[in-house]
Amino acid sequence: MLARAESVESPLATVVLAGAELVLDPSGALLWPDERLMVVADLHLEKGSAFARRGQMLPPYDSLDTLKRLAAAIAMHQPRMVIALGDSLHDRWALERMADPVREEIRRIQAGRTFIWIAGNHDPMPTDIGGEGTAALAHGPFLFRHEPAEGPAPGEVCGHLHPAARIALRGRGVRRRCFVTDGSRMVLPAFGAYAGGLSVRDPAIAGLFPPRGFTAHLLGAGRTYEMPASACIGD
């Protein structure tokens, strides 16, 4: 069952967004314990096979790796609902390239829960893999969508931008995927194995928030690390 982090020593950090208490899992999944809801962004399944199709050979295991990590997070927290915030497939031909073991893993993680696929800019709403598809989903104080809206958007939870933060640590730069929030809206890190990341200092991300007004929560080994905007340096 989804459970709140009960002390500062817990690896599961909590944040308040639009008045609701949420949990930041170091896998990159966002948890809403009161609703037993999990949110992930930008799985980019079949990115490796898309690169291979263009002659750029990458190990073809990214889809299963991404899904196994998602399955582990689901097994740990047992959500009743999972929302995937778009770009779940890397492109519109991903299902044609998808191997049977990948399809089977997708079916397995959906068993016993509601699974919502939100359409992204890389993929149409996924079909033939179960679950429900929609362009966006309003639930409680939140609007779950793929791309952030321009201007203030209280309660918006989105993906698309693949945020990553770079900090100075013991004289060297450390870069990690991260959640970004100002307490009003949130951008989730990309969950996909090959998804990459855009600096939180890039105007596409920083411009969504008041000047120096966001906090980055960097994904680490077994925990997240909270950093103010002022601690995030450019690439």
Which residue would you say has higher pLDDT here, 2 or 122?
122
Q: What is the Cβ-side half-sphere exposure of residue 19, based on CA atoms within 13 angstroms?
A: 4
The model's confidence at residue 7, banded by pLDDT at 50, 70 and 90, is: very low
Which residue would you say has higher pLDDT here, 76 or 91?
76
The model's confidence at residue 8, banded by pLDDT at 50, 70 and 90, is: very low
* pLDDT tens-digit map of 194-226: 888 999 999 999 999 998 789 999 999 999 999
pLDDT of residue 6: 34
Structure tokens at 129: 């893999």
* pLDDT tens-digit map of 163-172: 999 998 777 7
pLDDT of residue 59: 65
Concatenated DSSP letters for 107-145? HHHHTTSEEEEE--SSS-S--SSSSEEES-EEETTEEE-
Provide the domain limits for residue 183. Answer: 13-140+153-231
pLDDT of residue 54: 59
Whether 69 maps to a domain, the answer reads yes
* pLDDT tens-digit map of 27-48: 999 999 999 999 999 998 887 6
Mean pLDDT of all residues in 6-14? 59
- Three-state DSSP state, 40: strand
- Report the distance separating Cα 106 and Cα 126, nearest Å: 12
Mean pLDDT of all residues in 137-151? 97
Contact between residue 28 and residue 40 where contact means Cβ atoms under 8 Å apart? yes
- Report the distance separating Cα 174 and Cα 160, nearest Å: 22
pLDDT of residue 187: 99
pLDDT of residue 3: 36
Number of domains making up the chain: 1
Mean pLDDT of all residues in the chain? 88
Structure tokens at 101: 């073991």
Whether 3 maps to a domain, the answer reads no
Contact between residue 37 and residue 205 where contact means Cβ atoms under 8 Å apart? no
Task: Write the CA distances from 106 to 16, 43, 64, 68, 77, integer angstroms.
Answer: 31, 12, 9, 10, 17
- Report the distance separating Cα 7 and Cα 207, nearest Å: 33
pTM above 0.75, yes or no: yes
Closest listed residue to residue 12, CA positions, set 20, 28, 24, 2:
24
pLDDT of residue 121: 81
Whether 8 maps to a domain, the answer reads no
* pLDDT tens-digit map of 110-119: 999 999 999 9
